[in-house]
Structure 1
Amino acid sequence: MKTYLFLLLLVLFTGYSAFSQNLFSITGIVRDQKETLPGAGIYLSGYKVSTVADAEGKFKINNLKPGNYDVLVQMVGYLPYSKNVIISDQSVQVELLLKESTTVLNEVVIRADPNRPKYIKQFKEFFIGTSPNAAQCKILNPQVLNIDYDITKSLLTITTTEFLIVENKALGYRLKYMLDNFEYNSRTRIIYFSGHPFFEELKASSAKQKKYIDKRESAYYGSSQHFFRSLYAGNTTEQGFIINKMIKIPNPYRYPDSIINKNLIWLKTPDKSTVISKATMPKDNVRIAFWEKQLEMPKYIDHLDRKEISPASLLSVYNHNLKSLNYNGALAISYSRERESLVYSKTGFWVFRPLEIPDYQISIANLTENGVHFYENGGVNNSRAMLFEGFWAYEKVADMVPMDYIPQIKNK
């Protein structure tokens, strides 16, 4: 079974803090090099908050808590724009300078690429996901995707200069997604994408709205957003999370490199004193294949430490808006209130665990830096510091809820 790794840059979510009850605003003006731009759409990444620039290109977003925000701008004829804004103890004023889009429709030359459908399919699988909710998601404008495949690096790269529009009929959202980058390395099987989503509610009847609520609750509970919120609040155990260490141990099924290389050299070096016959070649090929397979096997495998970790032992206060998860290595995070589905167990994201361990949803957070900073609402500040495996790598855009999402059903 293939194993996929997923870098937590699928969303550059931002966050807020409860350190202060004061509310602030972001005000500003939208313009290009020549003039102000009335009518520009202004959005907060990861939220459902938006406004429109007035006749003078000015805008204002109120009722914001201290935190780190990404302001997105959309305007016909201009490239999508984002600006990071940090609110500490006062309101912030910004100038948003847009660049004209150089794309002229009647000058576009479309070159047929026989592999484009294949790459679009891969993008949907690794961006939208393959969960049950993903089956009800659709990219409305796939034509804006620019595709590049580097065969020497086995690297698929996808970019766009427009907002990607994703309709999620499972959770009842329409996303405008500013895709910064998407990469899939088929050699390492590492998936990486980053961007800024804006959420809009789909119109729905009361009956359909109830279905949306139920599915949103299910998507939220057990997610990385839920985990970091509860970690900030100090109630991960009460919320159903179990934290263990994942320790790397030498692979007992793999020979040392010295033995592998010695056998490969011996088998591949012709013996001048021996006449090579067709009868001996298959045997040698089998032995060569065995040692080459040994060379491909991982030198280390993950071992689950059964002793639970106290969340308090991993935490420190980074500043009045942020807390820090301090650990160097891999953490296994289980959500004991939901079981892994049969569909998930057949994917390349499934994580092996000992047979006596319950089939709780389990995710592996590989911490590449000693210190992951996160906000009260579950937003991670330095998201490059984590690489996900397991359930959190499996659930992607199709299972996202806004950062200001508040569950309506109590977690049992």
Structure 2
Amino acid sequence: MVASILRIRFLVLALLMGAGSYQAHGQGTLSGIVRDSLTREPLELASIFLASTTYGASTNDKGQFSVRNVPAGQYDLIISYLGYSLYKRTITVGNGPQTLDLQLKPSTQHLQEVVVRPGSNRPGDYEKFAETFLGRTVFSRQCRIRNPKAVYVQYNADRNELTASSPTFLQVDNAALGYRIKYYSLEFTLNFREQYMSFYGWPVFQEMKPRNERQRQQWLQNRQRAYRGSLPHFLRSVYLNQVAAEGFLVQKMRVVPNPRFPRADSLAKALRQARHNQPFSPADQDSIARWTKVPRAFSLLYTAPRPIDSLRETDSGRVWLRFRDYVQITYRHEAPDPNYQPVRPVGAPSLPAPTQQVSTLMLHPLRAEVQANGQLLEPLAVFTDGYWGFEKMGEFLPTDYLPPTSAAPVR
């Protein structure tokens, strides 16, 4: 039953991307006008977009806009305009045309108030944020933050936590995939004590212009590579009931708390407190090192693959991801990124380079609805670790991306 007993360390990625909820087929057109909520005057050059997609437009001199060929479904509609508060609204796109009359509220900065920033980012804090947010994959190394002054980074020593936020947007140019991403209202947290990272906001994707046909083809190949084995790929395979056919192996995993950890943790804290502001003796250092090696929990992996009916639930054409505890998901059709190195147990020898992409998935509620595009109706319903926790902005694709084999709408 048990294939391995390992010390497990969680790096939890909770990512809210304003994900769209697509129906299986059908398209609509969004059009309308954007106005000042006080004067009712039309606003020219306001940016309208559907979060996490490539769908967007700008208003003309009459405040009018039109977004065509939008797959039917639910979206987060975002409007950005200088001097006005960011507009956010959930809409449902149906088959055919839809007209909207949208009003933006002037922000306090619209009255020419002076906004004083508390201070510049400390270089070390900003570098840690940028490395964690962008990631360390080969594709992530080709990502650049183009407006670093738009993000405020702070470190809280009491919580041992690094946070970052942007009152406007953070722009990331991904030269590996050919996307320019503007991340609005970014909120980022990196907690070193609890070993998790989360970020959320409303991103918009814009296609970058390739230098030549060779670069365009390279971007297309890289996008396919980023998609293969990803969480959206797995969820889409769940929706289509093609998990094994798409190269995924799913196994049950249980995480069992180590009964020795609470005692070891308490003793280590007591020793640190007793030696507060005093140098540690060699014996102290040895004791702390010994107690901190006690694992918080063990992972128990079941060798048998989980049957699809233990992961997937359907009702009236809707599909849910459903399981208890944890699952380990292995993608067998592509090797991991060369920069990936799995976390090894404390005291264990160095591990050989992994040959498969292995991730851990935990479902926060009992079940979560899966959409046809490989997105969850509630993006924060799952937590990931392992390879999916390693991939970051370098592999970040819009939710309307379809691999070549799925060029036709999913039915």
Verify the 8 A CA contact 1:264 1:291 in the aligned structure 2.
no
| 8 Å CA contact retained: 2:51, 2:202 | yes
Q: How does 1:106-125 map to 2 (within 5 A)?
A: 107-109=114-116, 112-113=119-120, 116-125=122-131
For residue 244 of structure 2, the aligned residue among 231, 234, 237 is: 237
- Aligned partner of 1:316 in structure 2 is 313
The farther-off stretch of 283-292 and 358-367 is: 283-292
Matches within 5 A, 1:192-203: 192-203=198-209
User: Residues of 2 paired with 1:40 and 1:29: CA distance?
Assistant: 10
1:143 partner SS: helix
Contact 1:183 1:192 in 2 (8 A): yes
TM-score between the two structures when normalised by the length of structure 2? 0.82
Judging changes above 3 Å, is the alpha-carbon distance between structure 1 residues 220 and 261 closer, same or farther for their aligned structure 2 residues?
closer
Distance 1:90 1:348 in 2: 53
Separation in 2, partners of 1:47, 1:14:
8
Q: Match for residue 179 of structure 1?
A: 185
- SS class of match (1:378): coil
Distance in 2 (CA, whole Å) between partners of 1:2 and 1:37 is 53
User: Are the equivalent residues in 2 in contact too, given 1:174–1:199 (CA < 8 A)?
Assistant: yes
Q: Which deviates more, 386-395 or 145-154?
A: 145-154
Secondary structure at the aligned position of 1:199 is classed as strand
Residues 237-259 of structure 1: CA distance to partner in whole angstroms, max 9, x if unpaired? Answer: 111011111112354xx737569
Where does residue 333 of structure 1 map in the other structure? 329
The one-letter code sitting in structure 2 at the alignment partner of 1:242 is L
Give the letter for the 1:47 counterpart.
Answer: T
SS at match of 2:320: strand
1:4-33 C-alpha deviation (Å, 9 max, x unpaired): 523332523213121xx4333334432232
Is 1:33 aligned with 2:37?
Answer: yes
Give the whole-Å Cα distance in 1 for the aligned partners of 2:265 and 2:337. 39
**Aligned AA (1:210):** Q
Cα displacement string for residues 37-67 of structure 1 (whole angstroms, at most 9, x for unaligned residues): 2321111112211122234323333333332
Cα displacement (A) at 1:89 = 6.8
Distance 2:100 2:188 in 1: 29
The amino acid of 1:64's aligned partner reads V
Q: Output one character per residue of 1:269-322: Cα deviation in whole Å (capped at 9) or x when no partner.
A: 9xxxxxxxxxxx96863675367436xx344211211110122332123665x4
1:392 aligns with 388
Q: Which runs of 5+ in 2 are unaligned?
A: 1-6, 275-279, 407-411
Q: Which string of whole-angstrom CA distances, capped at 9 and with x for unpartnered residues, describes residues 365-398 of structure 1?
A: 1111111112100111112221110111111122
Match of 1:369 among 329, 354, 365: 365
2:241 & 2:74 partners in 1: Cα distance?
Answer: 21
The 1:107–1:302 alpha-carbon spacing in structure 2 relative to 1, beyond 3 Å, is: same
Is there any run of 5+ residues in structure 1 with no aligned partner, and where? 270-280
Please give the alpha-carbon distance, in whole angstroms, between the structure 2 residues aligned to 1:168 and 1:283.
48
Q: Which moved more, 1:331-340 or 1:356-365?
A: 356-365
Task: State the number of aligned residues.
Answer: 387
How far did residue 216 of structure 1 move? 1.0
Q: Residue 225 in 1 paired to residue 232 in 2?
A: yes
The 5 Å alignment of 1:104-143 reads 107-109=114-116, 112-113=119-120, 116-143=122-149
Residue type of the alignment partner of 1:376: A
Equivalent AA in structure 2 for residue 372 of structure 1 = A
Q: In the aligned structure 1, how far is the partner of 2:250 from the partner of 2:114?
A: 56
CA gap 1:160/1:103 in 2 versus in 1, 3 angstroms: farther
Question: In 2 relative to 1, CA 103–299 (structure 1 residues): closer, same or farther, beyond 3 Å?
Answer: same
1:60 aligns with 2:56: no
Residues 161-211 of structure 1 show CA distances to partners (whole Å, capped at 9, x for unaligned) of 212211111111111221342111121121011122221111111011111
Rg larger for: 1
- For residue 278 of structure 1, what is the aligned residue in structure 2? none
Distance of 1:264 and 1:134 partners within structure 2: 37
Is contact 1:318-1:373 (8 Å) kept?
no
Partner of 1:307: 304
Does 2:92 correspond to 1:83? no
Q: Does 1:162 align with 2:161?
A: no
Query: What is the CA-CA distance between 1:224 and the residue it aligns to?
Result: 0.6
Which structure has the highest strand share of the two? 2
Q: Distance in 2 between matches of 1:3 and 1:100?
A: 46
CA distance in 2, matches of 1:38, 1:263: 62
Closer, same or farther: CA 111–196 of 1 in aligned 2, 3 Å: closer
How far the C-alpha of 1:338 sits from its partner, in A, is 1.3
Asked if the contact 2:27/2:95 (under 8 Å) is kept, the reply is no
Cα 1:356–1:293 shift into 2, 3 Å = closer
Counterpart secondary structure, 1:362 = strand
SS in 1 for 2:377: coil
Cα distance, 1:282–1:163 mapped onto 2, change above 3 Å:
closer
In structure 2, the residue matched to 1:42 is: 48
In structure 1, what is the Cα distance between the partners aligned to 2:156 and 2:265? 31
Tell me by how many angstroms 1:129 deviates. Answer: 1.1
Q: Report the Cα offset of residue 122 of structure 1.
A: 1.9
**1:274 paired residue number:** none
Q: Which moves more between the two structures, 84-93 or 39-48?
A: 84-93
